Chain A
Amino acid sequence: MQINAQPEAGLRSIPALIARNAATYAGRPAYREKEFGIWQSWTWAEAQREIRDLALGFLALGLKRGDHVAVVGRNRPAHYWSIIAAQMCGAIPVPLYQDAVAVEMAYVLGHSGARFVVCGDQEQVDKIIEAEEADTSVEQIIYTDRRGMRKYDHTRMNWLSDVQAEGRAAHQRLDAELDARIAELDYDSTCVMLYTSGTTGKPKGVVLSNRNIIETARNSSAFDGLKPNEDVLAYLPMAWVGDFIFSIGQACWTGFCVNCPESPDTMMTDLREIGPTYFFAPPRVFEGQLTSVMIRMEDAGRFKKWLFDHYMALARRIGPALLDGQPVGALDRLRYKLGKLFVYGPLKNTLGFSRIRVGYTAGEAIGPEIFDFYRSLGINLKQLYGQTEASVFITQQPDGQVQSDTVGVPTPGVEVRIADNGEVFYRSPGTFVEYYKNAESTASTKDPQGWVATGDAGFFEESTGHLRIIDRVKDVGRMADGTMFAPKYVENKLKFYPNILEAVVIGNDRDYCTALINIDLTAVGNWAERNNIAYASYQELAGHPQVYETIRAHVEEVNASVARDPLLSGCQVRRFLVLHKELDADDGEMTRTRKIKRGVIGEKYADLIAALYDGKDSIYTETEVTYEDGRKGRLKATVRIEDARVFTPAGSAKDPTPLHKVAAE
């Protein structure tokens, strides 16, 4: 792939791209939004006029160069226009998460010093007004939806359409000024500032330049061959870098159409109506859709169910191979065509995936069976790895080289380096300029040569050259014999089983790995009900021999899969137990976002962990629990510990040997 070192002449800002699109793709749709039950659409030429009117309106309201303009609301054309209009005025757009509470907004508004805020609706306006009590510098509030806004004090508040009308009226006075400001924009001007959600400490404002966004958009669009006739559905938070790259960067670079749903609740219907060709979703969206398909198939008639099962089995066998262009027998091809007619086609249509050429998922690990389900239907679902500081793309999977457990090869223009401790570093044209007003963090994240530490540990697979992310660097350790210990890698594999809700793998500085497992009460309870297994409590179900049997089977399957990986084969789980209580944020065992706290768990269950390593079959324990009303109680239980089979690493032909046999010999 050819990568130009120089940007195409003149196309050094988003407003410049808009101007090019309005000239080149004048009559093509640029934005669509479903409103009043109908898809309203704007061509690039119309969009340019709307954006320009808004920018003129901003000038009329006194927007200055270098001002920050916060934008908070759901995905709507008007909000994308606000971002670009702010850029035209030489201001810096700052999209905010619309579900943030007033306190969080107050921090970001204060930190960025935003003078203008564009709000989606009354709810957001209320939050801004509440946030203002914390001394922000907001001077103008502009709202898109005027409903319920009649009674507000309008001395410094305007309806977006009025701002546009005012801009239109004042264009003769302000045209020259606006054109001058647009002309000033170059590759190094700030394109956008995005706040990272930040699991630790206050959010940081990541400053991305036009170079970052446009180069990244160009490289990644070329990587997937995106064309002006693509359709995307813009439904992920506008404050998230991915939406910015897809709906502004790539859309403006390529000239494709951004479709905005009617409301968050109608997303699935809108998805079906639009049938995007280029689609991004976090794993939970794909998971949710698969679950709803499966539930509906359970209720379907016997013939339909048979048809579905039959053809899905076929799809699972040859679908991914077909997608990757590998050789498949003629008979199978014919059968797959029939399946497409009867099952895959209608199913894809129902899901809204009929037209998908390129689909991406990222953010967290996706279960292999979920991933394979979509790929077997012929949906080109791929994975990418990225972060805000990289303008998203670090690695992505090329067509035809897709696996569920890698994140692909470096995106064109991106250099990736693995440090000695396994941490992934990258350097790219998309690498962020700085953290706003935070030179210290900038320096500790990005070195003078431009290499950025991701905080993730990973390695390149020798056979494929694909990057594999295994865990956060701070969680990766060494086992007693010096092999790599990556708990989350194994835990994720365990958690892909619906029966397992949580897993904690222990092994740092130990001889072998063990696991504490939480069953999923919904899934296991459902199984118990269907099999007439009576139980009175979570504890009783967790200790049931058949449950142990099932969990052991899962653990062993995971071991087999971990064993295939020479680097990580030491992380196989040799002994495990099913915890007598659910890990709970109220007990401090997890964060509110359901991330396990290893330190707390290590202390609290020290007796259980000791038993995992001293060969006992069971152990009596008492655990303190906090009830929802804040009272504390003690839970007493005798927890059984079982062994799981481990496998010899890939490449060795020996039969897998159960551990207890090894021990007995």
Chain B
Amino acid sequence: MTIMENPAGYITADGRKIGGTLMDLRNITLRFGGVTAIKDISFDIREGEIRAIIGPNGAGKSSMLNVISGFYVPQEGEVWFRGQRRGQMRPYQVARLGIARTFQNIALFDGMSVLDNIMTGRLTMMKSNLLQQAVWRGAAEREETAHREKVEKIIDFLEIQNIRKTPVGRLPYGLKKRVELARALAAEPNLLLLDEPMAGMNVEEKEDMSRFILDVNDEFGTTIALIEHDMGVVMDLSDRVVVMDYGRKIGDGTPDEVRNNQAVIDAYLGVAHD
């Protein structure tokens, strides 16, 4: 596990440069009443990498993602983001820090068009006030044009031009997932969190989504942390993988290292208890 110990970052097998630590999670413990969801977990996310969190059902993956996003505040441990210790935060503060996410069970505005949904991703960056927006002259108009331009680039990037004006409620599942990714991208995040981006997709949709995730990372240099069940996808996509089981970290490393880790094999294949 030499690559992980180099603070300056490392070079991946396909030649991408991974930078220093973007987020550092130190000895995180999260409890809900008497249930310990996460037990003393530490790992880091490097700038520019695709970091996966895997584990069997109930391992605490989604809780972990919620800790990363700042939605849950752990009882013990520290979250360091860009060299600063993070305390309790409101959602908009998280967004302003440059963290965006998608949800396991899509959370879009069904009645709104794809375009409007993606525009909401840029809300935190809009500066004109309510009155200006209502009148829609001068600054507000210029601002919307600028934001729209960014959003159009994302629409082009994710190849959803043909559904630009379609209400999200009318879209099939796979496309909704893509729209959600578009909205997260609209926030121009430094850290993109994807909660099971391929859940419920067929093979073709999975391939499309994988390509988009890789392209996002490649094109925008976005750091990505994702939870995923599909092992094939995880191993192909990610640079490093954290494996969780029953709230504890049982493995951490490159896909190859994790694949050969006995604790991981036991967690996935089961092991005889004596």
| Residues of A participating in the B interface, judged by any CB pair closer than 8 Å | 35-38, 147-148, 150-151, 262-263, 265-266, 269
Contact = CB atoms under 8 A, between A and B. Distances in A.
Given A147-B215, A148-B215, A263 B152 contact: no
Interface of B: 14-15, 148-149, 152-153, 155-157, 159, 161-162, 164, 211, 215, 218-219
Nearest to B115: A37
Contacts of B164: 37
Nearest to B16: A151
Contacts of B161: 37, 262-263, 265-266
Main secondary structure of the interface of A (DSSP, over half): loop
B14 A269 contact: no
Contacts, number: 34
Nearest to A268: B162
B218 A37 contact: no
B162 A36 contact: no
- Between B155, B156, B162, the greatest number of chain A beta carbons within 10 A of the residue's beta carbon is seen for B162
17 contacts: A35-B156, A36-B149, A36-B152, A37-B152, A38-B152, A147-B157, A147-B219, A148-B211, A148-B215, A150-B219, A151-B14, A151-B218, A262-B161, A262-B162, A263-B161, A263-B162, A265-B161
A236 to B, nearest CB: 18
Nearest to A146: B219
B104 to A, nearest CB: 27
A265 B155 CA distance: 13
Contacts of A35: 156
Nearest to A145: B156
Contacts of A36: 149, 152-153, 155-156
A39 B235 CA distance: 41
Contacts of B157: 147
Contact of A37 (B15, B155, B211, B215): B155
A269 B159 CA distance: 15
B70 to A, nearest CB: 32
Nearest to B219: A147
A47 to B, nearest CB: 22
Contacts of A269: 162
A434 to B, nearest CB: 41
A263 B153 contact: no
Contacts of B211: 148
Nearest to B155: A37
A265 B175 CA distance: 14
A37 B162 contact: no
Contacts of A37: 148, 152, 155, 161, 164
Contact of B159 (A38, A150, A151, A263): A263
Nearest to A263: B161
Contact of A151 (B15, B149, B153): B15
Given A37-B152, A262-B162, A263-B159, 10 more contacts: A35-B156, A36-B153, A36-B155, A36-B156, A148-B211, A148-B215, A148-B218, A148-B219, A151-B218, A269-B162
A293 to B, nearest CB: 19
Nearest to B157: A147
Contacts of B149: 36
A150 B219 CA distance: 8
A385 B218 CA distance: 49
Contacts of B152: 36-38
A201 B157 CA distance: 39
Contacts of B15: 151
6 smallest beta-carbon distances between A and B, as pairs: A265-B162, A36-B152, A37-B152, A266-B162, A262-B161, A263-B161
B271 to A, nearest CB: 40
A35 B159 CA distance: 11
Contacts of B219: 147-148, 150
Nearest to A265: B162
Contacts of B218: 148, 150-151
A427 to B, nearest CB: 45
Nearest to B165: A269
Contacts of A265: 161-162
A265 B162 CA distance: 6
B50 to A, nearest CB: 15
A114 B214 CA distance: 32
Contacts of A151: 14-15, 218
A152 to B, nearest CB: 12
B220 to A, nearest CB: 11
Contacts of B155: 36-37
A292 to B, nearest CB: 15
A161 to B, nearest CB: 16
A36 B159 CA distance: 11
A151 B164 CA distance: 30
A148 B219 CA distance: 7
Contacts of B153: 36
B171 to A, nearest CB: 13
A523 B65 CA distance: 51
A262 B161 CA distance: 7
A266 B152 CA distance: 14
